[in-house]
Amino acid sequence: MSLLVTGTIGIDDVVTPTGHANQVLGGSCMYFSAAASFYAPVRIVAVVGDDFPPQFRDSFKQFPGVDLTGLETRKGGKTFRWGCKYHSNMNSRDTLFTELGVVGEAPAKVPASYADSKFLFLANSPPAVQGGFLEQCPKRVLTVADTMDLWIQVAKDDLLALLKRVDGLVLNYDEAELLTGKLNSVSAGRHILELGPRFVIIKKGEHGCLLIHRDGICSLPAYPTERVIDPTGCGDTFAGGVMGFLASDKAAQHDPGSFASIRRALVHGTVVASYTIEAFSLDRLKEIKRADLDKRFEEYASMVRV
């Protein structure tokens, strides 16, 4: 089924204990769509400035399942830019700068050809903006949103209104605590369900993820990779793997938001994210094929099977 993602496409500067990468392609929408394209066609709705480098646009050619009809280039605008420095444990980072550019302006519009999209992922952006996309996709059957600490702090009312309208929420354990005031991730997840979603996925970095669903709970470890280069975008590629699998899995079409469907999809999201962390930007994802994902999926499945 058709999968649409909204979010940011930008230019990143990243410093990690393993090295640094300046002026590289990034953004939540880019990471998500690259990962999801291994499973299903993806429609992007995003905006960049006319300073967006041509070679970055060419990068999409390496992910042929990505439809760029909804990628707007705004004349005279500046592309979103972001920089960070990771701490030695790679679990935390300091933001060095954020230049919103066109992301701080009016959001891109959903093209008419995208209006029939069935799966909708609202990548990290202001919750009021995320909510504005819902009316533009009236045929959606599964809507999942991502959020971050900034919106919980400065736009909580908008976020709470959004949660009443989506099927699922993705956030990390610190954000879950901030949103609910609960230290325990399970308790935080159950509280979020009371706010509206059918399920919540709590990302726990190197410790994997936790699914709190109205029909059950599932906890999965991260894939034990030794090559840890850059965690940037891992959460977005994780979400891309989850949603891409759901959009492509015939067994999930009857009820893509079911506990069984989401639980299976988490494994695929975990596998894609395990590749992202092995290089800066999208470099590792550009090197692999679906067969590589399938092989690692089998390895991972054997590790967690009891």
The rounded percent of the chain whose pLDDT value lies above 90 is 86
Q: How far apart are CA 179 and CA 281, in angstroms?
A: 29
Mean predicted confidence (pLDDT) in 152-181: 96
Q: What is the pLDDT of residue 254?
A: 80
Q: What is the pLDDT of residue 260?
A: 95
Summarize pLDDT for 15-58 with one digit per residue, the tens: 999 999 999 999 999 999 999 999 999 999 999 999 999 999 99
Q: What is the pLDDT of residue 306?
A: 64
Q: Across all residues in the chain, what is the average pLDDT?
A: 94
Mean predicted confidence (pLDDT) in 82-89: 92
Let me know if 196 is exposed, middle or buried by CB neighbors in 10 A (0-12, 13-18, 19+).
middle
Domain borders along the chain are 3-304
Contacts of 297 (CB under 8 A, 6+ apart): 267, 268, 271
Phi, psi torsion values for 197, nearest 5 degrees:
-65, 155
Considering only residues 305 and 301, tell me which one the structure prediction assigns the higher pLDDT. 301
Q: How would residue 82 be classed by pLDDT, with cut points 50, 70 and 90?
A: very high
Mean predicted confidence (pLDDT) in 215-222: 96
Is the pLDDT at 262 greater than 80? The verdict is yes
pTM for the whole thing? 0.95
Q: How would residue 273 be classed by pLDDT, with cut points 50, 70 and 90?
A: very high
Let me know if 148 is exposed, middle or buried by CB neighbors in 10 A (0-12, 13-18, 19+).
middle
What topology is assigned to 3-304 in CATH?
UDP-N-acetylmuramoyl-L-alanine:D-glutamate ligase (3.40.1190)
- Sign, Cα dihedral of 244, 122, 142, 268: positive
Q: What is the pLDDT of residue 304?
A: 85
Summarize pLDDT for 130-140 with one digit per residue, the tens: 999 999 999 99
Q: What is the pLDDT of residue 68?
A: 94
Q: How far apart are CA 245 and CA 169, in angstroms?
A: 17
Mean predicted confidence (pLDDT) in 244-264: 91
Contact 246, 142 (CB under 8 A): yes
Is the pLDDT at 213 greater than 80? The verdict is yes
Mean predicted confidence (pLDDT) in 233-251: 94
Summarize pLDDT for 111-128 with one digit per residue, the tens: 999 999 999 999 988 899
The rounded percent of the chain whose pLDDT value lies above 70 is 99
